[in-house]
Amino acid sequence: MKNSTVNDCRIVQLTKIHNRAGNITIIENNKDIPFDVKRIYYLYDIPSNESRGGHAHKELFQLVIGTSGSFNINLNDGTNEKSVFLNRPDFGLLIVPGIWRDLSDFSSGSVCLVFASEIYSENDYIRDYDEFITFKK
């Protein structure tokens, strides 16, 4: 996905079932998100003023959800940038492969839940920005 752009990344509105006792949101493979989920992880206890990300993936698709609190994700395809603020547990951000991302401005107690299309592989990461720009050319 060398040719992917920030416009290929999009907000996904998830199913929300509401009643007076609270809400439930459901995510099913290939129905609510356009890939098979092979891995789930979450970021939490993030100190204020810290940032995460600072890398791109070659093949990995991810759906990122702010299940608690809020944070900002800056997307960069080497040409254009797009900033997305996540603060609702029933909205996710689909990040396609080939996008540099920086996560910042975590609110206190925030939780960043990630559904990923592949198991962890360090080989899938591009952690050097110059290398990313070369990859996108």
Binding residues for ligand TYD, rule: CB under 6 A, are 39, 41, 43, 52-53, 55, 120
DSSP assignment of 27-95, as one string?
A: --BTTTBSS---EEEEE-SPPTT--EEEEEESS--EEEEEEES-EEEEEE-SS-EEEEEE--TTEEEEE
Task: Specify the residue, 55 or 88, whose C-beta has the smaller distance to ligand TYD.
Answer: 55
Could you tell me the two tokens for 137? 């050319």
Task: Specify the residue, 13 or 83, whose C-beta has the smaller distance to ligand TYD.
Answer: 83
Provide, rounded to whole angstroms, the least separation between the CB of residue 116 and ligand TYD.
7
Provide, rounded to whole angstroms, the least separation between the CB of residue 122 and ligand TYD.
7
**Which residues are part of the catalytic machinery?**
55
Task: Specify the residue, 55 or 82, whose C-beta has the smaller distance to ligand TYD.
Answer: 55
